[in-house]
Amino acid sequence: SQQGEEDPQALSIQEGENATMNCSYKTSINNLQWYRQNSGRGLVHLILIRSNEREKHSGRLRVTLDTSKKSSSLLITASRAADTASYFCATVDSYGQNFVFGPGTRLSVLP
């Protein structure tokens, strides 16, 4: 079964609004990463947050991590139509062997 679970499964917003996606996971992690995927193409790495970090920023992206609740959130501020994509969280366990992905959040940003 998948470790990460994103919420919501789909999100539709207007350009300029903020988009928040949540991710929950089940086991101890080394780090958590967020990826974007456009129309079934390859995954683009957005941001990595380590298990000893609580918040991280990158441009219009803000990621939080709460290891006590085993959850993370991705905030995209001032969204653009080009942000339309599927967003996945992926965890790397303590063995660091592979990624475990959630089912993703499909974000639609309407112009």
Partner 1 sequence: ETGVTQSPTHLIKTRGQQVTLRCSSQSGHNTVSWYQQALGQGPQFIFQYYREEENGRGNFPPRFSGLQFPNYSSELNVNALELDDSALYLCASSLGPGLAVFGPGTRLTVT
Show the site string, 30-69: x = touches partner 1 by CB under 8 A, - = not: xx-x-x----xxxxxx--x---------------------
**Residue from 17, 39, 12 nearest 108 by CA:** 12
Write the DSSP assignment of 13-30 as a string of letters.
EETTS-EEEEEE--S-EE
Instruction: Round to whole Å and give the CA distance between 111 and 104.
Output: 22
Asked whether the CA dihedral 16, 55, 36, 48 is positive or negative, the reply is positive
Residue placing its CB nearer to partner 1 in the complex, 83 or 104: 104
Least separation in angstroms between CB 103 and partner 1 = 5
Extract the tokens encoding 62: 């803000």
Check binding of 103 to partner 1 (CB under 8 A).
yes
Q: How far is the CB of 89 from partner 1 (least distance, A)?
A: 9
Q: Please give the residue ranges that form the binding site for partner 1 (CB under 8 A).
A: 2, 4, 30-31, 33, 35, 40-45, 48, 88, 92, 95-104
